[in-house]
Amino acid sequence: MTSRPSGTSAFRIAANELRRLTAGTLPKLAMVALVLVPLLYASFYLYANYDPYGRLDKLPAAVYTSDAGAKDASGKDRNVGREVTDELVNSHTFQWHEVSQDEAAKGVKDGKYSFVIGIPHDFSAALLSVGNFQPQQATITLTTNDSNNYLSGTIAKQVAEQVRKTIAEKVGSEAADRFLVGFSTIYGKISEASDGARQLADGAAKLRGGQQELATGANQLATGSGTLANGLGTLKSSTTSLPSQAKQLADGAGRVADGAGQVADGNQKVADAAALAAGASSDIQTKLNGYRTQLAQDLRNAGVPEAKVQEIVTKADQLRSPVDQANAKIQGANGELAKLAAGSRQVSNGAQQVSSGAQQLSTAAPQLANGIAQASDGANQLRDGAAKLNDGEKTAVDGTNQLADGSAKLRDGLAAGLKQIPNPDDPTRSATANTIADPVAVTSNGVASAGTYGAGLAPFFIALATWIGAFVLFLLLRPLSTRALTAGASPLRVAIGGWLSSALLGIAQVIVLFGAVTWLVGIHVAHPLGAIGFAILVSLAFTSVVHALNAFFGAVGKFLGLVLLVLQLVSAGGTFPWQTIPDALYPLHVVLPMSYAIDGFRHLLYTGASMRILGDIGVLAAYLVGGILLSTLAARKRRMWTVSALKPELSL
């Protein structure tokens, strides 16, 4: 079993190299400088670019307005240019200066202002022309000067676009609001029309009912007027001889009245004679009653017994019985004759009245006959007019039915149309107008958020600083130990020993770098332990690659390290997405290690490790192992000393 030469282990080789570099004050300072190189590069750059968008208020910009204003659709004076200018100046997004147009042009040319936004004379008139249906496109003038700074011009274009979008939303919202207010007005008027149509339909329905009743009445009128005309015609023909007959009746009534008067006069004379007879008979009865009483008294005075007195009186009463009967008949006849005389007088009076009435009838009969004739003619005309009215009412009923049906359709149509007309309340109308003016909103759901511009660049600059740190280490470190090679140590030990010193210093570099980036610069790291572990792996892989280049190619390896640095800067996708690089650089992005270092840092700084980071770790581990293997091959080649190895043509 062969013994291993003393001082040829990989760790001893690395320790000897580090001891060599720290033998003296300047070498120690140089070592410290090597460790701080990535820190100075990445931390200062990230500090300088930590949040440039948060300091845009330091960027001088100018705005001017020549807007003359205009009247909006309601007749109100508006100066949108003035409104926009005031909003820009008061927003403090930039260091705004409101100046004249000439001063603005001179300022952007001389570099006093980074860019200028100008509002022309007809700005308000063009914007408000939409409300008057005379659309014109308003313009905003953006003046930039790339000789001042290219990015400031790019930012200015974004600002101008945002101003344009804001103005468009504002004007569009106002126009949409007026449009919706018009809908509300239309809704109100249509609602009134709908109410009127409903009332019209109700009235038309009532009119149809009334028209049906009128048509029925007209039909009855036509029928009745026909009957009346027929009856009056019959009456007319029947009363043709009425005047002559009334004359005859008057004459006869006069003769009857005369006769009735004579009868009444005769009956009155008879009644008067009967009254005299009745009076005389009544006197006789009175006298007889006195004689009877006197007779009874005389008999009593003569001493005739009472019974005999009564007997004599009774016989006397029997003797006057015919006289009493005759008196009763005379009195009855007298009452009957008085009644007959009164009745005769009434008959005479009635006959006189009949005679007078007949005389009046005889006088009015011609007029009555003429009136009946005229009534008959009028009834005929009424019959004809009623027939026409009946026919017209039939037509009117048809028209009324059409009116009722049409008004019902109008009512239903207006009611249905009213439901289709928007009538939003004020909050809904405002929200709708804003939505019409700006119909699409962007909701950002960031799976991972860097937070600041500096944090977004951190993966790129940490990876870049790690490569630069690995590169500068070999400005002092020797990739392969000459002592170990001359001692006959195995190439693998020599390679690992030469790499270990750079690996330890690289680990120190990334630890110091991460401490400064997180604590001093303020870059937030989502998973610190994972990020530091991954940074150590990146440093080990980068130092392995740079070590291999220096070991295998010597002084040329340092140049190749710079070349690889440049190639990785343009292909790693550290600033813009790597898909935006030219197609010819795609293979470099896939092959070179910095692409995977940046990708891994992004996952760990923002969201934490995922399964995708395993691929980054695998590639970097492969570069680590590949670098050691290439260094081992270089150590094997260096075991054979050549003139070029003892005295190289180029030494860096």
pLDDT score, position 51: 60
Does residue 440 surpass a pLDDT of 50? Answer: no
Q: Per the structure block, which two tokens stand in for 247? A: 């004359």
What proportions of the chain, in percent to the nearest 5, are helix, strand and coil? 80, 5, 20
- By the 10 Å C-beta count (0-12 exposed, 13-18 middle, 19+ buried), 54 is classed as exposed
Does residue 643 surpass a pLDDT of 50? Answer: no
Does residue 95 surpass a pLDDT of 60? Answer: yes
Does residue 444 surpass a pLDDT of 50? Answer: no
Does residue 453 surpass a pLDDT of 80? Answer: no
The average pLDDT across 602-611 equals 75
- pLDDT band at residue 594 under the 50/70/90 scheme: very high
Q: Dump pLDDT digits (tens) for 490-522.
A: 888 888 888 988 889 889 889 988 888 888 877
- pLDDT band at residue 595 under the 50/70/90 scheme: very high
Question: Is residue 98 left, alpha or beta, with left meaning phi > 0 and alpha meaning psi from -120 to 50?
Answer: beta
Q: Which residues are CB-contacts of 383 (< 8 A; sequence separation ≥ 6)? A: 222, 225, 226, 228, 229
Q: Per the structure block, which two tokens stand in for 90? A: 């008061």
- pLDDT band at residue 536 under the 50/70/90 scheme: very high
Does residue 426 surpass a pLDDT of 50? Answer: yes
The average pLDDT across 541-563 equals 89
Note if the pTM is more than 0.95: no
The average pLDDT across 10-37 equals 63
- pLDDT band at residue 543 under the 50/70/90 scheme: very high
The average pLDDT across 400-426 equals 70
Percent of the chain with pLDDT over 70: 67
- pLDDT band at residue 4 under the 50/70/90 scheme: very low
Does residue 305 surpass a pLDDT of 60? Answer: yes
Does residue 289 surpass a pLDDT of 70? Answer: yes
pLDDT score, position 5: 46
Q: Dump pLDDT digits (tens) for 156-172.
A: 777 777 777 777 666 66
Nearest to 520 by CA among 37, 34, 35, 45: 45
Does residue 531 surpass a pLDDT of 80? Answer: yes
Q: Calculate the average pLDDT of the chain.
A: 75
DSSP string of 25-62, one letter each residue: HHHHHHHHHHHHHHIIIIIHHHHHTS-GGGGGGGSEEE
Q: Dump pLDDT digits (tens) for 228-274.
A: 777 767 877 776 776 777 677 667 767 766 776 776 677 677 667 76
pLDDT score, position 441: 44
In degrees and rounded to multiples of 5, residue 119 shows phi and psi of: -115, 120
CB 233 within 8 A of CB 227: no
pLDDT score, position 417: 63
Q: Dump pLDDT digits (tens) for 37-76.
A: 666 665 665 565 556 666 778 888 889 988 888 887 667 7
